[in-house]
Amino acid sequence: MSTNVRTMDCSPHDVFSVLADGWLFPTWVVGASRMRDVDVTWPAERAQLHHSFGSWPAVIDDETTMLEWDPPRRMVIQPKGWPIGEARVQIDVKPRGDGCVVRITEKAVKGPGVLVPPALLDIGLYIRNVETLRRLAYIAEGKADGK
């Protein structure tokens, strides 16, 4: 299981306003390349984002399901990325001073990804999620500044 933490100069509500907008998913999630559809019930539990990942022409259509939505504290999603498999991603947000601390935890839960030794898999997830949190911070902090 890989865990990344980042301090952001915005409120937990600013972070969750980004997470609640399913159309922004490929903007902050590394690997997601485009949105095809967002369930009208997003971000309600069991709602899905219909996205693609990869670079053209090797683009694969898949989806992400909301498992838990508890703003402004926690979100748990299960993204699919077949043929690699599925992951469980938890984002926890806690206020700190005038900003907040965001933690993302990710682990493989289905498919070939679960066969990769955790120490090896975690290296790749950790590197990817450094950039994922950087992107999320840019958007949430930009919204907080009224940009």
Task: Supply the pTM of this predicted model.
Answer: 0.94
Task: Reply yes or no: is the peptide bond before residue 72 cis, omega within 30 of 0.
Answer: yes
Report the pLDDT averaged over residues 14-32.
97
**Which pLDDT tens digit goes with each residue over 25-55?**
999 999 999 999 999 999 999 999 999 998 8
Specify the CATH number of the domain 2-144. 3.30.530.20
Ordered DSSP codes for 3-62: EEEEEESS-HHHHHHHHH-GGGHHHHSTTEEEEEEE-TTTTSTT-EEEEEES-TTS-EEE
Domain residue limits, the chain: 2-144
Average pLDDT of the residues of the chain: 95
